[in-house]
A and B are shown apart, each in its own frame.
Chain A
Amino acid sequence: MHMADALVSPSVGATMWAASMGLAAYSARRIEPEVAERKVPLMGVMGAFVFAAQMINFTIPVTGSSGHLGGGLILAILLGPHAGFLVMFSILAVQALFFADGGLLALGCNVFNLGFWPCFVIYPLLFKPLVGRQPSRSRILAGSMLGGVLCLQLGAFGVVLETLTSGISELPFGTFVLLMQPIHLAIGIVEGAVTAALVSFVWQARPEVIDLAAGERTGSMPSLKPVLVTLGIVAALTGGVLSWFASAHPDGLEWSMFRTSGSEELAAPADGVHASLAGIQERTAILPDYDFAAAEDAQATPAEEGAAWPAVRAGTSLSGIVGGSLVLLLAGLIGMSLRLLQRSRQPATP
């Protein structure tokens, strides 16, 4: 379920980073220092455990993300939701840094998909009420199975939405969903079984570990408001400022909305989306050459879509190809000469 940088647009990446960082800061504040002290070893071990489990992964064709166990639910159960979220963050960060598995810009998306759903949705709303204060083997099994399947379904759907709003992959919404969800249903069942097995094992062998998970701050709860306000501001900023980076093409969110709505729905509803989007676009337009009219025409007559696209910039023309190869050559030469320079210096400074 790891998304790569190559597939994420700056605005999606930055927004999801903001969301995940906000949640991490919130989680860190929710864990009491004394509790954190006692939890640190278990957090480290569980992190390493899930890290190892996630390394057994495979690529899901076309979608650009990997299939593997999530492990978010087991972290939430054994560590509590807030510590679990922090641990998931650290796991994905190490994978991104050391293995280029999932990008650094896409880290926010990945943390959200794999951490948010199990820790802040499934565990408090499903697992905890279902298992209750007196856990039993069958309750743990039911909660883990249901939770595991749901976590992965929600996470996989998150991947679909984030990839589509980034608009770099060509995959249409329907195909994408059909690829991701069934695969993650199968993984979810395995995940549920593994979670159930491990949790009931730990519950029998070391019940105190699960009690420790419940020892999170419940009384004086810091309000969510600052987090939400910050998230709102950041989202607005990324929407406004980062769209400067957007090229003259209607790419990103608008692009994929046009595409999906164009292929999935017919004229009337699409027009509604269109009109409102165009209105927003007009109000926030920064790039003067953002040719929205052309895109709209393309939408109306899909056959002409290619023609209506503005000519592809540098990459298309002869000068682009010549320039590109020259620059690559230049970069290589600069690198090589630097290395030669170093070699010639080396004997002097051993």
Chain B
Amino acid sequence: MTRIEAGIGDLDTLDRLAAQDSPIHRLDPRAKVIATALFLLTVVSFSKYDIAGLTPLFLYPAVLLTVGLVPVRVLLRYLLIACPFALLVGVFNPLLDREIVVRWGGLGISGGWLSFGSIVLRFLLTASAVLLLLACTGYVAVCAALGRLGAPHLLTMQFLMLYRFIFILTDEGSRMVRAHGLRSFGAGRTTIRVWGSLAGHLLLRAYDRGLRVHAAMLARGFDGTPRTLRVSRWSLTDTAFVLGCGLFLALVRFGDPVDRLGSWCVGVFR
């Protein structure tokens, strides 16, 4: 249960960050969703051996992080939790692809190491972009944006309900685990039979409470539309933000700023 409870705490952290106020928070959620999508597409479109070409893209999370008032610590913690997946993907690339593609001084670097490095950078960029979108927008606002961008109504409603019910299920679950602990005096191991029964009853209890919660929501006028405190209208700033992001991404993708800056520097020092 601890892992799940910790996860619930994480949900809460991001939502509290989203309640702050900053120029990024004030942007229309749709603009942020579109910009994030463009960013993700750009990151994954680089060649699998590209490392240097990806570096300018770190500007995007860096700016969002600082302007959006997201503590670096929080972001790093999330990335740390998620990174084993990305690392384990790439860690065998150096073993599988041992063709030396770069010779630098006496050191030969194989294609596998380059692609491994590239996978790690891609992971850092994509994961932080998504987490920052949420930390600067909030879950309900992202749902509303998806709905206004054309996602089916039932789907956005399900997004909202899932989020609400995760808390209900954890509530009921921790109550049952506590009750079980109190009645068994912490003695012995819980058998699989007991766990099975607990899981079944958890489902039914959560369902019953879910029915009451849903009825209460309907009584208060819930119609499945995500409602946020900050009412946003698409403004010129949003258009500028999306265009600016697009321009920046196109420049990084096609303009090759790293190579130019690098050769300029090397030229200066020669």
Contact = CB atoms under 8 A, between A and B. Distances in A.
A155 interface: no
A334 interface: yes
B85 A42 contact: no
Interface residues on B, range: 35 or more
Given A332-B62, A338-B63, A47 B53 contact: no
A46 B81 CA distance: 25
Nearest to A47: B162
B234 interface: no
Given A5-B43, A43-B161, A331 B166 contact: no
A273 interface: no
Contact of B52 (A55, A61, A202, A321): A321
B34 interface: no
Contact of B168 (A5, A13, A45, A198): A45
Most chain B CB inside 10 Å of its own CB: which residue of A8, A60, A100, A336: A100
A60 B210 CA distance: 35
Given A97-B130, A338-B66, A48 B206 contact: yes
A100 B65 contact: no
B164 to A, nearest CB: 6
Nearest to B253: A245
A247 interface: yes
Interface string B196-210: 110110111011001
Contact of B48 (A41, A55, A251): A251
B187 interface: no
Interface in A291-330: 305-306, 309, 311-328, 330
Interface stretch (A88-96, A131-139, A146-154, A221-229): A88-96
Interface string B240-270: 0000000000000100111111110110000
A249 B130 contact: no
Contact of A45 (B163, B207, B253): B207
A335 B85 contact: no
A43 B177 CA distance: 23
A44 B81 contact: no
Interface residues on A, range: 35 or more
Contact of A86 (B14, B122, B158, B197): B158
Interface string A60-78: 1111111000000000000
A24 B10 CA distance: 28
A309 B100 CA distance: 11
Given A59-B85, A247-B47, A331-B62, A99 B10 contact: yes
Contacts of B52: 314-315, 320-321, 323-324, 327
Most chain A CB inside 10 Å of its own CB: which residue of B44, B196, B202, B261: B44
A51 interface: yes
B74 interface: no
A342 B52 CA distance: 30
Nearest first, the 6 A-B pairs at minimum CB distance are A323-B262, A64-B89, A319-B262, A306-B99, A324-B52, A44-B161
23 contacts: A6-B119, A28-B154, A40-B158, A42-B207, A44-B214, A45-B210, A49-B202, A55-B3, A55-B7, A86-B155, A87-B158, A94-B159, A98-B14, A100-B82, A101-B85, A172-B96, A247-B46, A249-B48, A323-B52, A323-B55, A323-B261, A327-B52, A331-B56
